[in-house]
Structure 1
Amino acid sequence: MIEKEDPIISEEEAAQYDRQIRLWGLDAQKRLRGSRVLLAGLGGLGAEVAKNLILAGVKGLTLLDHEQVTEESCRAQFLVPVSARGQNRAQASLERAQNLNPMVEVHADPGRVEDKPDDFFLQFDAVCLTGCSRDLMVRVDQLCSQHRIKVFCGDVYGYYGYMFCNLGQEYSYVEEKPKVVKPSGDSSDGSGAKKAKVDPNETTMVKKTASFCTLKEALEVDWTTEKAKAALKKTPVDYFLLHVLLKFRTDKGRDPDPQSSEEDGELLRQIRSDVLDALGLSASLLNDDFISYCFSEMSPVCAVVGGVLGQEVVKALSQRDVPHRNFFFFDGRKGNGMVDYFGPN
C-alpha cells in the first residue's frame, strides 16, 4: 500500500461536510477524506455506490469498467447520458460523477479488471467489485486480505441483491453508546446498592474489534457438518441463490438475459440442482419461483443495495459504527423490503 498523508480538512471541506462531521466526528471524516477507493463495474449498482462514496467525501475514486454503454445501461445507470451509447461505461460516467462533488478526485479506467496486475489493487484503501466472476472476486479478496485492504463485493439480479465485505482479521472501530451513570453512595431505602442507569442524553465512544472471514471461506462452507446443519435454518435461501447466479455467470460469461429467458430459465433450474447437490443439500431448498425474478438490474433494487454497500464502505473507511459481518441480502419481492444477514463466523 502507498504511504498515506495525514489528511487535513480545509475550511471549504469543513463547510461541505458539516453535517457528516456533526454526525460521526472530525476524526472519522479525516480518515474518510484520506482514503482512495477502487470501484469495478459501472452498472446500475456501481453508479449508486459511486454516488454515495463521492458525496461522502473520499479522497479519490477510480471507476473501472471495460463495458460499453447499452440501452439497458441507460435505463439502470443514471451517471451515463443517453447520448453516450456505445462509449466506454467508466469514461461516460466520469463527468456526472465528478460534478457530484468537485472535492473528490474521480478517475475513469476503461481497462478490464481481470487484466489488472496485483500491484494495481495495492494502491487503494478499499476495493469494491460489482459484476465480477466468482474466481476474480476470490483472487482479489485473498490478495487484499494479505495487504490489509478492505474488500467489498456486490451485485443486483432483478429483484435480488447482495453485498459481502471482508475488513480483515482484526478490524478496529468505535461505536457510540449511551453513557452509563454509576450511582454514588449506598441506597437509603435499605434495598441494597443502587443500580447503574443509562443516561440517554449523554453518549460515550467505545472501541471495539471484529474479525472477518474471506470470501472463499464464506462460499465454501461444508454443509455436511453438524455445526453447519444446525445453522441451516437460520441461513437465508438467498445465500444459496447467490451460488447459483455466480455459477451461471461462470458458465455463460454473463448474467441471465430477459431476451433468452426461456433458455436461461432452464439453465438456472439445472444449475440450481447441480449446485445444491454439490453442497449436499436438497434442490427443494430453492424452489422454481426465483427464476422469474433474477433478470436484469432493477433501479429500485440498485438504490437499496447500493445504499447499503456504499454506507458500509464509508463506515469501514471512517472506522465508525458496527460493520456487517459478512453478507447482506435483499429480496425486492417482499413488500417490507426484508433484509437478511449471514456469516460463517
Structure 2
Amino acid sequence: MGEMASVDITEDEAQLYDRQIRLWGLESQKRLRKARVLVIGARGFGAEVCKNIILAGVKSVTIMDHGVVDEQDFCSQFLVPRSEIGKNRAEASLERAQELNPMVEITADKEKIDDKPDSFFGNFDVVCATECTTAQFLHLDNVCRENNIKFFCGDVYGFFGYIFLDLQIQEFMEEVTTITNTHEPTGEPLAKKRKTEKTVQNTKGTETYVPLQDALDVDWTSESYAKRLKRMDPSYFVMKALLKFCDKKGRKPSPSEREKDIESLKEFVKEELTKQKIREDFVPELLLKDVFAEISPVCAIMGGITAQEIIKTVSQKERPHNNIFFFNPLKCIGYSACFGV
C-alpha cells in the first residue's frame, strides 16, 4: 500500500478522472490506479461495491463467485442480464462491469473460497468479502493480516446491512478546519458581528484496527461495554444473530420460510443477550422482521458506503470508519461504532 503513488496517470486517464482528481487530488488517484481489489460474492451488494470502485478507477477488480444466476439476482444484481440465467454469476457480470470503465482490468473467478490456497489472496491489496460464513470471514481476515492486505466484510439482509473493516494500521490525510477570532478587543460594546478567519490544513493521522474475532467476542458484562449499552443501537446483536443463522442453516433468512426464520432469529438473539446478561427486549422484534431478501436500495446504500471506505483506505484520503458500519431500517440511519478495543 505504501507504493501506491508511484504509478503514472496517462492523459486519457487524467481526462476521464478529472472530476475526482479535483475532489481528492492527483496523488490519491495514483494510489487508486495501483490498487488490486478482490470482491467475493456477486449478489446485489457485491455488484454495487464493484460498480463504485470500478468507476473510481482502481487498477483491477476480480469478481469471485461460484454460484449461478437465478431469479433472486434480478431483484438487486444489475450486472447480470436475464439471458445469463443458470450461468456462473461472476462470469455473467463481466461484460456490464467492463462497460462501466474500460481502463480497469476486470476478471471473473468461479472457484469456491475454500478451494483457494492462502497464497492466492496475496495477489490483492484489498479483499472485500460478502456471502460468506463466519468461519470464512475469520479465515480471510487472518490471511489478510498476515499479508498486510486491507480487509472488508459485510452483507445485506433485507433492509438491514453491515460492513466490518480491518485495516490493521491505516495512515491517512484529512482536512482540519480551524476558526480563529480576528476581532481585537477594545473594551467597547460590539456593534457588529465578530470577524472570524477560517484555516484549512491537511493533517496526517493513524488509526489502529482490531481483527474480526475481537469485534465478535465483545464481553458486554465488562464495565466499559456495560456503560455503552445505555446509549447503544441494537444492530450489533442483530448482526451476530444473522451470522449465526447463516452458519446454522447454510442460507440467509428466506421469505418463503419467514415465520420459522423469525422464530430462529429470536432464539439466537435471546441466546446472545442471555449470555451477555442483557435484558431480552433490548433488540426490538420488529427489527428481525426486516431482514429478508436483498433490497436494491439498501444494496446501493451499503455498496456505496463500502466502496467509499475502500477508496478512503487506498487513497489514504480521509479517516475510514473504525470498525463496523450498520444500517438500521427502523431508524433509517447508518452509523459507525468501534467494537473489540
TM-score (structure 2 length as normaliser): 0.92
Shifted more, 32-41 versus 133-142: the winner is 133-142
Measured in 1, the distance between the counterparts of 2:218 and 2:149 equals: 23
Shifted more, 231-240 versus 294-303: the winner is 231-240
2:236 maps to 239
Contact in 1 for aligned 2:5/2:31 (Cα 8 Å): no
Give the gaps of 5 or more residues in structure 1: 192-196
Q: 1:284 aligns with which of 277, 281, 286?
A: 281
- Matched-pair identity in %: 44
- The alpha-carbon distance between structure 1 residues 12 and 264, as it changes in their structure 2 partners (threshold 3 A), is same
Matched, 1:128 2:128: yes
Matched, 1:217 2:214: yes
Alpha-carbon distance, 1:228 to partner: 1.2
1:139 maps to 139
Measured in 1, the distance between the counterparts of 2:20 and 2:14 equals: 9
2:254 maps to 257
TM-score (structure 1 length as normaliser): 0.91
Alpha-carbon distance, 1:234 to partner: 3.0
RMSD, aligned α-carbons: 2.2
Alpha-carbon distance, 1:227 to partner: 1.2
Alpha-carbon distance, 1:262 to partner: 2.1
The letter for the 2-side match of 1:269 is K
1:13 maps to 13
Measured in 2, the distance between the counterparts of 1:257 and 1:41 equals: 18
Q: 1:207 aligns with which of 204, 209, 213?
A: 204
- The alpha-carbon distance between structure 1 residues 225 and 2, as it changes in their structure 2 partners (threshold 3 A), is closer
The letter for the 2-side match of 1:327 is I
**Pairs within 5 Å for 1:1-345:** 6-168=6-168, 170-178=169-177, 189=186, 199-200=197-198, 203-334=200-331, 337-344=332-339, 345=341
Measured in 1, the distance between the counterparts of 2:197 and 2:309 equals: 28
Measured in 1, the distance between the counterparts of 2:201 and 2:270 equals: 51
Alpha-carbon distance, 1:282 to partner: 2.8
Give the gaps of 5 or more residues in structure 2: 189-194
Alpha-carbon distance, 1:3 to partner: 8.3
The letter for the 1-side match of 2:261 is D
The aligned length equals 334
SS of residue in 2 equivalent to 1:8: coil
Measured in 2, the distance between the counterparts of 1:228 and 1:117 equals: 37
Shifted more, 259-268 versus 9-18: the winner is 259-268
Shifted more, 205-214 versus 172-181: the winner is 172-181
SS of residue in 2 equivalent to 1:323: coil
Measured in 1, the distance between the counterparts of 2:67 and 2:196 equals: 54
The letter for the 2-side match of 1:174 is M
Alpha-carbon distance, 1:171 to partner: 1.2
